[in-house]
Amino acid sequence: MAARKSKQFEWSHKHLLGLRELTAEEISFILDTAVGFEQVSTRSVKKAPPLRGKVVVNLFFEDSTRTRNSFALAAGRLSADIIEFTKKDSSVSKGETLLDTARNLEAMGIDIVVVRHSAGGAPKFLSRNINACVVNAGDGFCEHPTQGLLDVYTIRKIKGTLDGLKIAIVGDVAHSRVARSDMWAMNKLGAEVTFVGPPTLMPARVDELPVKVSYCLDDVIDKVDVINMLRIQFERLGGNPFPSIREYSHYFGLTVERMKRAKSDILVMHPGPINRGLEIESEVADGKNSVILEQVTNGLAVRMAVLFLVNQAAAQGN
Pick one of 272, 274, 287, 297: the residue that binds ligand CP (CB under 6 A): 272
What is the closest distance, in whole angstroms, from the C-beta atom of residue 150 to ligand CP in the complex? 9
Examine residue 306 and tell whether it contacts ligand ASP (CB under 6 A). no
CB-nearer residue toward ligand CP: 24 or 140: 140
Pick one of 1, 12, 21, 65: the residue that binds ligand CP (CB under 6 A): 65
Which of ligand ASP, ligand CP, none binds 28 (CB below 5-8 Å, type-dependent)? none
* Residue 10 C-alpha from the chain's centroid: 23
Q: Give 99's contacts (C-beta < 8 A, 6+ positions apart).
A: 125, 126, 129, 130
CB-nearer residue toward ligand CP: 41 or 64: 64
What is the closest distance, in whole angstroms, from the C-beta atom of residue 154 to ligand ASP in the complex? 15
Positions in 137-156 near ligand CP (CB under 6 A): 138, 147
CB-nearer residue toward ligand ASP: 135 or 314: 135
Burial of 24 (0-12, 13-18, 19+ CB in 10 A): middle
Number of chain positions touching ligand CP (CB under 6 A): 9
Q: Which stretch binds ligand CP (CB under 6 A): 128-136, 163-171, 257-265, 268-276?
A: 268-276
Positions in 201-230 near ligand ASP (CB under 6 A): none
Q: Which stretch binds ligand CP (CB under 6 A): 62-70, 102-110, 151-159, 220-228?
A: 62-70
Which of ligand CP, ligand ASP, none binds 131 (CB below 5-8 Å, type-dependent)? none
Examine residue 236 and tell whether it contacts ligand CP (CB under 6 A). no
Examine residue 293 and tell whether it contacts ligand CP (CB under 6 A). no
What is the closest distance, in whole angstroms, from the C-beta atom of residue 297 to ligand ASP in the complex? 16
Number of chain positions touching ligand ASP (CB under 6 A): 7
Which of ligand CP, ligand ASP, none binds 65 (CB below 5-8 Å, type-dependent)? ligand CP
Positions in 141-170 near ligand ASP (CB under 6 A): 144
**Cα–Cα nearest to 192, from 166, 168, 217, 214:** 166
Residues in touch with ligand ASP (CB under 6 A): 138, 144, 177-178, 231, 271-272
Q: Interface with ligand CP by CB under 6 A: which residues?
A: 64-67, 138, 147, 271-273
